[in-house]
Amino acid sequence: MRKIVFDIETSNIFDDVGKADPALLDIAIVGIYNSETDKYSTFTQEELKDLWPILEKADMLIGFNSDHFDIPLLNKYYPGDLRLINHLDLLSEIKKSLGKRVGLGRVAEGTLGVPKSGHGLEAIKWWKNGEIEKVRNYCLDDVRLTKEIYEYAMTNMKLKYKDGNDIIEFPIDPKGWEEKEEKVLTSSLGF
């Protein structure tokens, strides 16, 4: 199964665009892990044409808060509809189990014992200051955390999050996560 784990950093924030609609933001960097090549890559907004064929070949896209943020933002640039590709949002799965949302940093600290390497607002400052490599590295760090959390859930059928000084463990049901769905052709593939 070809899986793409992905994350996006933007070059602006909701305050800049007037409302909390991800499609109004602008992409700075998209980071991915491609299970087929076992490699991590990043793409700037100008390089998205190189990302589309990779996503279209995927059997599954895996993100964190990707239902409500990453997919709508990517669809702003994509000539088709990325919602047609099998997709797993780990935050949605966590909310199903816990009844609430828990951020990537808290889940990474609880489950993996490692914190996030920064904050999205820092990445926007770095981008505006021309510190592109810092943004690439931060984005790929979040991709790595998402991938490792996904793998932990698949193996252990549970996750953990940090709540103050406590580590809270909760069940997660990965049954069906890796079932292949029939692919729908999308519009950037050459025919």
Helix axes 120-128, 132-156, angle to 10 degrees: 160
Residue 1 C-alpha from the chain's centroid: 18
Coil, strand or helix at 103:
coil
Coil, strand or helix at 157:
coil
Q: Which strand (E) or helix (H) includes residue 64?
A: none
pLDDT along the chain (191 residues), means of 10: 96 89 94 98 97 96 96 95 95 97 97 91 94 97 98 98 96 89 55 38
Structure token pair of residue 45 = 């907004």
Coil, strand or helix at 161:
strand
Long-range contacts of 54-59 (CB under 8 A, 24+ apart): 54/4, 55/4, 55/82, 55/85, 56/80, 56/85, 56/186, 56/188, 56/189, 57/2, 58/2, 58/3, 58/4, 58/85, 58/86, 59/1, 59/2, 59/3, 59/86, 59/180, 59/181, 59/183
d(CA 131, CA 181): 40
**Amino acid 120: pLDDT:** 83
**Amino acid 176: pLDDT:** 86
**Amino acid 191: pLDDT:** 38
d(CA 175, CA 167): 24
For 113, counting Cβ atoms within 10 Å of its Cβ (0-12 exposed, 13-18 middle, 19+ buried), the class is exposed
**Amino acid 189: pLDDT:** 53
d(CA 80, CA 52): 10
